[in-house]
Amino acid sequence: MAIHKVLRMGEPGLLRVSKPVTDFNTAYLDALISDMWETMQAENGAGLAAPQIGINLRIIIFGFENNPRYPDALEIPSTVLINPEISMLSDEMDECWEGCLSVPGMRALVPRNKHIRYSGFDATGQSFTREVKDFHARVVQHECDHLDGILYPQRITNMQSFGFIEELESNGLMTAQPCDD
Ligand code: NI
């Protein structure tokens, strides 16, 4: 078990399309996932994708309760999602403040689909499907983007909202639209 360095924007490894996991229930996969949890918790993240620690495999983890980085967000069950597939269940979009451990200290307003279904596998190879909305849907879309080499700044439609958390907060901008409405 180890806490890994989280790669920051500018590292080419974050821009790659990751490969599907083919072997489940292995010591390698279990160790990798436990390192991901440890790393995510150390950084107070809401989610983490394997490429963020330099492993280009289609693995994401997410979930939290009372996360200090997202004080107003609803709880999301702790989930390991491997080889994920997402379908959008409506065209309705939601815009709220998003951050990323690979883009530390910054946030921007990012539009995401409000209502999605996702499916994939857990670490043992068991498949599962969930239908989710709002912040849970946002976190999954954000983490899945990492598996295709996409970071949230590429999703920003209003670049004027992109800024440093400290400045956005001290200017009263970030409180305008909480993520879990
Ligand atoms: Ni991220």
Could you tell me which residue, 70 or 136, shows the higher pLDDT? 136
| Residue 92 near residue 115 (C-beta atoms within 8 A) | yes
143 catalytic, yes or no? yes
Q: What is the pLDDT of residue 180?
A: 46
Distance 108 CA to ligand 1 centre (A): 12
* pLDDT tens figures, 74-91: 789 999 999 999 999 999
pLDDT above 70 as % of the chain? 92
Has residue 20 got a pLDDT over 80?
yes
What's domain 12-170's architecture? Alpha-Beta Complex (3.90)
Question: 125 CA to middle of ligand 1, Å?
Answer: 24
107 three-state secondary structure: strand
pTM of the model: 0.93
Active-site residue (options: 38, 85, 143, 166): 143
The amino acid occupying position 167 is E
Choose the weakest-confidence range: 18-22, 86-90, 172-176.
172-176
As residues whose CB is below 5 A from the ion ligand 1, the structure lists 100
Q: Domain spans of the chain?
A: 12-170
